[in-house]
Structure 1
Amino acid sequence: MKINIVGAGPAGLYFALLAKKHNPMHEIQVHEQNPEGATYGWGVVFSDIGLSFLKEADAAFFEEFVAHHERCDYMEIVHQGTHVQVHGNHFSRTSRIDLLRVLRSACEREGIRIEYGRRVEDASALAASCDLLVAADGGNSAVRTQLAQHFRPSFVKRRNKFAWYGTNQRFHPVSLIFRETEHGVFIAHSYQYSPELSTFLVEVDPETWQRAGLDKASEDDSRRFCAEVFRPELGSHELLTNRSLWFEANIVSNERWSHGNIVLLGDALRTVHFSLGSGTRMAMQDAIALHNGVAAHPGDLPAALAAFEAKRRDASSSFQQSASRSLDWYENVANKMKLDPVAFAYDYMRRTGKVSHEDLRQRDPLFARACESFQTAS
């Protein structure tokens, strides 16, 4: 097959790699609008469940993929200054730059061409020049926008404000920090992803954001303000910026996943809110499912795309439902700030409805017993 892929992110590159290794006769070219080496954001997180899919799909690449990951087996919820640990939550973290570097190198070894600085202005014309066009060009997908009447996307903008920062303070566990201020509640999502750096995502509701004057603050003023809010955890370290502008989560879904020989993949297909930490995992699982569909139905693209959608649609809907419940929890966290730290952590862990008390008992018996003791005492 001749395959064009729009977007050199995890979804597009991983599909390219799997397809080419399975059939070296495929002619694959990746088109990326950004310059080579340009990436935004800090680190990405995989759960042990997410990594198991990658190991099963390509064990040799998996070893290369995880070689430089930072790992931990617990998380911390910081509430009222108390650090509540929840064990049995295995996380593997890496920088987005390193993730893309490893994928890019593997693709280039297989003879996959990656063209940078190329924005696709006419998706239909590009699709006409190949057997399969994979639109893996992110949440603001140009391909999806150009063919919106076919894919029928929908968008839900959530209310909370976010800013992505980094820091040299190393947060070994995945840490959720909740801080009450005179303006309202500030939340930090933080985790170490390299020997020197951690991601530090700040979240705040729009009313608190305005009361704190962040609606009028510059990028640097916002950085300094947020650093002071979380000074007890940051210590002498400052926050670092990389296009760290305030934004709202925009949740994307599509009624149709494919059109002719064009298929959506990753964030172009559906976004999963970062409070679940599963966006990159979902993108790479999409790549696995699309590859399996193409490999199972050689010469029959409609069947391949139907198999891909049958495999992934239910999982996609389930994750988006969980993400919606998680967002609801964060957007209403001010109502929970009076809870005891243990009760607060328990409420947090149960927020999506996907984690039962028995699940928590199996993951971390000590934490489960602490919750039971607290409920009995209450």
Structure 2
Amino acid sequence: MRVACLGGGPAGLYFAISMKLRDPGHEVVVIERNKPDDTFGWGVVLSDETLTNLAQNDAKSAEAIRAHFSYWDDVAVLYRGEKTVSTGHGFCGIGRKQLLILLQQRARELGVDLRFETEAQSAAHYAKEFDLVVASDGLNSKTRTEFADKFQPDIDTRKCKFVWLGTHQKFDDAFTFIFEETDKGWVWAHAYQFDDKTATFIVECSQATWDAYGFGDMTKEESIATCEEIFKDHL
């Protein structure tokens, strides 16, 4: 079987790996517009159950991924000066770039054809050449749009604004939710460790708070400085 995966993120790479494991004779191609070491975002979170499923599917890549994870069992909520901790959850985080590198290595080892810096054409175009075309092209999927009448996607856009940041502050003891009440409204964050030195720190607020702060008129540096001030007690 000839298989084309349109998109070389974790989903496209892992599907390609899985197809090769089931039949090494499959010709599997992954088409990705970015470079191998390009990525967006900071960390990826998986549950213990997901890790178990990965190990059952491909023990080798699962072991490589597990070696780079940060683990925690607790979820902590910080609200009006009080910290509430819930335990026994079993989560882990890994840098998205590290995850991509590991999956790329495993895919190459199995003989997957990785084509980077290649803009994918329409799924209909590849369907003429391949037996199976996999849409793994992310949130703003061109394939989903191309076949919207078949997939019938239900997209619900909400009003909260968020920014995905990183910090060298440690959040390695729990998946942490922080709520700060400011004179312009509530601003909240969730943070988690994904390697020895870095944690994801995602900041979110309502449209009203966004407007009150004037985030829309700020530069990137000004937005970051404002977030640092709001969460200074935690950073």
TM-score by length of 2: 0.96
Which residue of structure 2 lines up, in the alignment, with residue 69 of structure 1? 69
Partners of 1:73 and 1:50 in 2: CA distance: 15
Aligned partners of 1:197 and 1:71: how far apart in 2?
Answer: 13
1:232 aligns with 2:213: no
CA RMSD of aligned residues (A): 1.1
Report what 2:58 is aligned to: 58
| Structure 2 partner of 1:212 | 213
- 1:162 matched to which residue of 2? 162
Contact kept in structure 2, 1:120 and 1:142, CA below 8 Å: no
User: In structure 2, how many angstroms separate the alpha carbons of the residues matched to 1:165 and 1:112?
Assistant: 33
1:49 CA drift (Å): 1.9
> Which residue is 2:183 aligned to?
182
Count of residue pairs brought into register by the alignment: 234
Q: Counterpart in 2 of 1:153?
A: 153
Q: Deviations over 1:248-282 (max 9, x none)?
A: xxxxxxxxxxxxxxxxxxxxxxxxxxxxxxxxxxx
Give, in angstroms, the shift of residue 210 of structure 1. Answer: 0.6
**Aligned-partner residue type, residue 53 of structure 1:** N
Which is bigger in relative contact order (C-alpha 8 A, separation at least 6)? 2
Per-residue deviation, 1:61: 2.3
User: What is the CA deviation profile of residues 283-304 of structure 1, one whole-angstrom value per residue up to 9, with x for unaligned ones?
Assistant: xxxxxxxxxxxxxxxxxxxxxx
Name structure 2 gaps, 5 residues minimum. none
The residue that corresponds to 1:28 in the other structure is 28
What is residue 111 of structure 1 aligned with on the other side?
111
Greater Cα radius of gyration, structure 1 or 2: 1
Question: Percent of pairs identical after alignment?
Answer: 36
Aligned to 1:7: 7
- Look up the equivalent residue of 1:198 and give its one-letter code: A
Deviation at 1:89, TM superposition (A): 1.4
Q: In the alignment, which residue of structure 1 is the partner of 2:41? A: 41
Distance in structure 1 (CA, Å) of the matches to 2:29 and 2:121: 16
Q: Aligned with 1:159: secondary structure?
A: coil
Q: Distance in 2 between matches of 1:158 and 1:205?
A: 10
**Which amino acid is 1:213 matched to?**
G
Greater helix fraction, Structure 1 or Structure 2: 1
- SS state at 2:111 partner: coil
CA contact (8 A) 1:9 1:136 kept: yes
Matches within 5 A, 1:273-352: none
Match of 1:203 in 2: 204
Give how far 1:44 is off: 0.8
1:84 counterpart SS class = strand
- Whether the aligned pair in 1 keeps the contact of 2:78 and 2:84 (CA below 8 Å) is yes
For the residue of structure 2 that corresponds to 1:199, the secondary structure is strand
Stretches of structure 1 lacking an aligned partner (at least 5 in a row) = 235-378
SS in 1 for 2:38: coil
Contact 2:54 / 2:62 at 8 angstroms: preserved in 1? yes
Counterpart-to-counterpart distance in 1, 2:59 and 2:108: 18
Counterpart of 1:122 in structure 2 is: 122
Offset of 1:108 from its aligned partner? 0.4
2:36–2:101 Cα contact (<8 Å) kept:
no
Aligned to 1:233, what secondary structure does the other structure show? coil
